[in-house]
Structure 1
Amino acid sequence: MQWLNEPAHWSSSSNRIIVNTSPKTDFWRITHYGFIRDSGHFYFERVDTDFVVEVEITGSYKDLYDQAGIMIRFDENHWIKTGIEYVDGVQHLSAVVTHDYSDWSVTPLLKPLVSLRLRVERRKEAIHISYLDASSKYALLRLAYFPIVPEVQVGIVCASPEGNGYEVVFDNYRLIKQSAA
């Protein structure tokens, strides 16, 4: 795996990656805010097949838009990030799908989660984003389009757009490549 925008402070051991996000980091393109940000932390591997990727995320979210999750990326104009995003003091399940312009969907969590188990699956042009719900079943958060390209980058993502950084722990990251049907 390799970093896009490696954080100053991070470590990994066995099945755990700990990141202290750098201040004023984010991924976003144009919509509503009028700016482009490509400075978030993304630790990825390259994949040329369909896949399923999973990770458990535990964050010390404290500032507006602190975020952590999974990212799929072709280039700076085409990517998806999904996971937890901290908005107005509340954890939200979040997904941003970007095809030149970013969109954003959020669902507030009525009870803050200690950790979130997230799963993203690619089947050709379809991206299935799911999370482990209170009954320990994967619930669909979003189904999104992503172009079929020869290779994508897949991995963990985190950022602190407004704050001074926070600590996030990624446990049991797993990527399963699937042969084309």
Structure 2
Amino acid sequence: MTQQRRQRMEWHTGAWLNPPQSFREEGEFLKVSPEKGRDFWKKTLYGFEYEDGPALLAHWDPETAVEVSFQLDSFTELYDQAGLLLYHGPGQWTKTGIEINDGIPQLATVVTDGYSDWSLTAVPEWAGEEVTVRASILKEAVIIRARSKKHAWRTIRVARFPYPTGNQAGPFACSPTREGFEVTFTRWELTAPDQDLHVDPPVEA
């Protein structure tokens, strides 16, 4: 895949890992309402195990990067979250995106291989914007980046992802603590993978 070529993923090409409470297409957008109480988490700190959050997944070739974009205007309550799920199988996945914590939008990543870990970076200046999350494989690691319409790419995590085959990726949304959360996804694309950790990927036109 050349650096310029992008492949837009149609929403209907994905398959639901745990269907949401409701979803609908509006023009080019996908609106998803997750059921209260569902999430992705394994054991660490809390002891509980969840793998029942809704995610719309398709095959992910490690020779491509995957990007998902969504709007933040509906994120208001603790643990409201959406973004990109990288899924190898039960207990082996990474979710990354925006999550509300302490009343602030946070770039949040949960890396799971039997046990989960969680990293957060506050981005209050991104509130209400459209956000894009991107994942790209390089040397058995995944490089995770994010940006908003007004703010440039930020590298938010480099994590182990040693799965050469059998991977899926796509948008996810969870609402662990409340009813009525709805996420508007605006874009799901495959594009050229990162070649260098310290070189920002291009921004779509």
1:162 is aligned with what amino acid?
A: T
- CA deviation digits over 1:9-56, x for unaligned, max 9? 101255321101111110000000001001111100012433211121
Report the CA distance between 1:134 and its aligned residue: 7.0
Q: Find out whether 1:61 has 2:75 as its counterpart.
A: yes
Q: 1:20 to 1:135 in 2, by over 3 A?
A: closer
2:174 partner letter: A
- TM-score normalised over the length of structure 2: 0.80
Q: 2:46 aligns with which of 10, 33, 53?
A: 33
Kindly indicate whether the alpha-carbon contact (under 8 Å) linking 1:43 and 1:155 is maintained by their aligned counterparts in 2.
yes
Contact 1:133 1:139 in 2 (8 A): no
Any idea what SS the aligned residue of 2:50 has? Answer: strand
Summarize deviations over 1:70-127 as a string: whole Å, max 9, x none. Answer: 0101112110000000112111010110011000000111322422121111224111
2:203 aligned residue: none
Could you say which residue in structure 2 is the equivalent of 1:50? Answer: 63
Partners of 1:153 and 1:14 lie apart in 2 by 25
How do 1:138-153 residues align onto structure 2 when only pairs under 5 Å count? 138-153=153-168
> Among the aligned pairs, what percent are the same residue?
34
Asked whether 1:6 is paired with 2:19, we answer yes
Q: Given the superposition, is the C-alpha separation of residues 37 and 18 from structure 1 closer, same or farther in structure 2, using an over 3 Å criterion?
A: same
State the partner residue of 2:8: none
Decide whether the 8 Å contact of 2:87 with 2:93 is kept in 1: yes
TM-score between the two structures when normalised by the length of structure 1:
0.90
Counterparts of 1:138 and 1:24 in 2: how far apart (Å)? 31
Aligned to 2:84: 70
* Structure 1 segment 28-177 matched on structure 2, within 5 A: 28-59=41-72, 60-111=74-125, 112-132=127-147, 136-176=151-191
| Aligned-partner Cα distance in 2 for 1:3–1:74 | 14
Partners of 1:135 and 1:177 in 2: CA distance: 22
Gaps of 5+ in 2: 1-13, 194-205
One-letter code aligned to 1:67: Q
Residue 50 of structure 1 aligns to a residue whose secondary structure is coil
Would the alpha carbon gap of residues 113 and 93 (structure 1) be closer, same or farther in structure 2, given more than 3 Å must change? farther
In structure 2, distance between residues paired with 1:177 and 1:150: 18
Structure 1's unaligned 5+ residue stretches are none
Q: Deviations over 1:107-158 (max 9, x none)?
A: 1113224221211112241111111257653221111111224210110011
Partners of 1:110 and 1:4 lie apart in 2 by: 30
Mean Cα displacement is larger for which, 137-146 or 34-43? 137-146
